[in-house]
């Protein structure tokens, strides 16, 4: 009997890998193991529509229950893989042994924890899972003063949701600007102003010292300079690390903080693959081995792996893309922020609709669009085709971005 594919983790990467395997004609069994006790769901709404109450749990499912049955995908829900035994091509799942022909690690990422005094107090929360978001939503209802540690995407999306609900919100960021890892300074400044206009206090260059509590619950956040901020609720959003708890014992090669994979998502061990947030792969646009934490990366890698395992041609890899919703601003990013680029501004940030283009040797390498979905869709194609742009046309928001192309390397 064929042992089939075993997929560890049933989120964006794992569920897409299962679906894409079936779509590509994989006939053998597929077992999807999830340690979350619910049907696989979209993670982005956890800090946006689900947290604000605009979307219910049934509206954020990746696939309906019938999908797994119809596609003959065995979903082992609420079950955890404890160990991989590569020599025997098996995994241990809660005391049972599961053999595999192909093992796909889609174990994602885990949020970084703080180890400051008081970090263990109640009402200091993190956000990664549906259970986390349910808890945060519940606590947000009664809290009035919310301190968010970390001015990255998750922290700022939660800040926007809480501010819209009328809460007093303070964001503490250790760097001198917001979302510094993913955005150029112009966009960091735009989002700082947007939050300030919505009543959020932003503390840049701020160092946390400790948390203080009363009755086991957090009551104050202390900064290194001695400042004491009152808080009914603290959300810690200081980034995440690849979930590699199974990989050390399996002896898989690691790089850039993730499980090293090749263009086909194969790890250093035979018949073991990794996709999504846990995987580190050579990015053909930046030339660096990196982990990319986005839904697009998770689904694209899963599709590429399914093609490889079913002997189909690899789908063409497009540009990386990502989005974030804060207040009425829909930020859509294409490409990856780079050092040493020059920037072109298309449109006026004051109008709430603009695109910031990052150029390298006249080629478009990244584009950050706020409420300009057309620019974003065009930029994805132009970055993938390594297009050169005419600068004068590119900065004119009345001219479609594709009209600014002077040369394309790939069709």
Binding residues (CB under 6 A) for ligand FAD: these are 8-9, 11-14, 33-36, 43-44, 46-47, 80-81, 106-109, 127-128, 154, 243, 246, 276-277, 293-296, 298, 322-324
Cβ distance to ligand FAD smaller for residue 39 or 147: 39
Q: Choose between 13 and 405: whose C-beta lies nearer to ligand FAD.
A: 13
Count of CA atoms in the C-beta half-sphere (13 A) of 48:
15
Residue with tokens 């979350």: 36
Q: Which is nearer to ligand FAD, 293 or 300 (CB)?
A: 293
Closer Cβ to ligand FAD, 273 or 405, answer by number: 273
Helical H segments across 198-259, by residue range: 247-250
Residue number with CB closer to ligand FAD (77 or 219): 77
Judged by beta carbon, residue 219 or residue 283, the one nearer ligand FAD is 283
Which tokens belong to 189? 């400044």
Does residue 282 contact residue 300 with C-beta atoms inside 8 Å? no
- Give the shortest CB-216-to-ligand FAD separation in angstroms: 26
The Cα–Cα gap between 210 and 311 comes to 54
- The residue among 118 and 335 lying less far from ligand FAD, judged by its C-beta, is 335
DSSP notation for 75-101 = EEET--EEEEEGGGTEEEETTEEEE-S
Residue 276: CB atoms within 10 A of its CB come to 34
91, 8 contact by CB (below 8 A)? yes
Shortest CB 326 distance to ligand FAD, Å? 10
Residue 320 Cβ vs ligand FAD, minimum distance, rounded to whole Å: 9
CB of 90 to ligand FAD, least distance (A): 14
Write the CA distances from 401 to 258, 331, 369, 409, integer angstroms.
35, 17, 12, 17
Nearest Cα to Cα of residue 293 among 260, 321, 334, 315 = 321
**What is the DSSP track for 281-341?**
EE-TTT-SEE---SHHHHHHHHHHHHHHHTTPPPPPP---EEEEEETTEEEEEEE---TT-
Query: At closest approach, how far in Å is the CB of 287 from ligand FAD?
Result: 22
Q: In terms of CB distance, is 182 or 344 closer to ligand FAD?
A: 182
Nearest partner of 369 among 381, 359, 360, 378, judged by Cα: 378
Please identify, using beta-carbon distances, which residue of 13 and 163 lies nearer to ligand FAD.
13
Neighbours of 78 (CB within 10 A): 11
Residue 341 CB, shortest distance to ligand FAD, in Å, is 22
Q: Which is nearer to ligand FAD, 218 or 278 (CB)?
A: 278
Cβ 109 to ligand FAD shortest distance, Å: 5
Return phi, psi of residue 105, to 5°: -90, 120
92, 132, 252, 267 from 85: Cα distances, Å: 8, 31, 12, 15
Smallest gap from Cβ 402 to ligand FAD, in A, equals 24
User: CB of 222 within 8 A of CB of 190?
Assistant: no
d(CA 290, CA 294): 12
Shortest reach from residue 132's CB to ligand FAD, in Å? 8
Per 3-state DSSP, what percentage of the chain is helix, strand, and coil (rounded to 5)?
30, 30, 40
For residue 135, the minimal CB distance to ligand FAD (Å) is 13
């Amino acid at each position: 009997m064929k042992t089939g594919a075993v997929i560890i983790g049933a989120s964006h990467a794992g569920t897409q890998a299962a679906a894409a395997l079936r779509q590509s004609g994989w006939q053998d069994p597929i077992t999807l193991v999830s340690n979350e006790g619910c049907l696989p769901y979209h993670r982005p709404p956890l800090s946006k529509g689900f947290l604000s109450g605009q979307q219910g749990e049934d509206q954020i499912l990746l696939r309906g229950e019938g999908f797994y049955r119809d596609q003959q995908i065995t979903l082992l829900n609420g079950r955890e893989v404890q160990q991989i035994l590569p020599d025997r091509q098996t995994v241990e799942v809660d005391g049972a042994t599961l053999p595999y022909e192909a093992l796909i690690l889609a174990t994602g990422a885990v949020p970084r924890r703080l180890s400051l005094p008081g970090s263990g107090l109640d009402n200091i929360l993190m956000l990664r899972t549906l259970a986390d978001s349910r808890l945060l939503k519940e606590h947000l209802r009664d809290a009035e003063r919310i301190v968010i540690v970390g001015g990255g995407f998750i922290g700022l999306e939660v800040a926007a949701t809480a501010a819209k609900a009328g809460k007093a919100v303070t964001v503490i960021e250790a760097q001198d600007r917001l979302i510094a890892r993913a955005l150029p300074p112009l966009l960091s400044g735009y989002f700082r102003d947007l939050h300030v206009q919505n009543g959020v206090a932003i503390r840049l260059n701020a160092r946390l010292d400790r948390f203080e509590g009363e009755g086991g619950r957090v009551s104050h956040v202390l900064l290194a300079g001695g400042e004491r901020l009152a808080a009914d609720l603290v959300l810690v959003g200081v980034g995440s690390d690849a979930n590699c708890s199974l990989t050390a014992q399996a002896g898989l090669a690691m790089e850039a903080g993730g499980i090293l994979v090749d263009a086909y998502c194969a790890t250093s061990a035979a018949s073991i693959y990794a996709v999504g947030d846990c995987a580190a792969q050579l990015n053909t646009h930046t030339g660096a081995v990196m982990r990319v934490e986005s839904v697009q990366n998770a689904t694209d890698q899963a599709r590429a792996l399914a093609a490889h395992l079913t002997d189909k041609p690899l789908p063409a890899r497009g540009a990386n893309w990502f989005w974030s919703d804060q207040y009425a601003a829909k930020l859509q990013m294409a490409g990856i922020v780079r050092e040493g680029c020059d920037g072109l501004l298309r449109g006026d940030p004051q109008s709430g609709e603009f695109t910031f283009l990052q150029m390298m040797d006249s080629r478009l390498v990244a584009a950050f669009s706020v409420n300009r979905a057309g620019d974003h869709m065009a930029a994805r194609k132009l970055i993938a085709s390594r297009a050169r742009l005419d600068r004068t046309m590119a900065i004119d928001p009345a001219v479609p971005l594709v009209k600014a192309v002077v040369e394309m390397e790939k069709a």
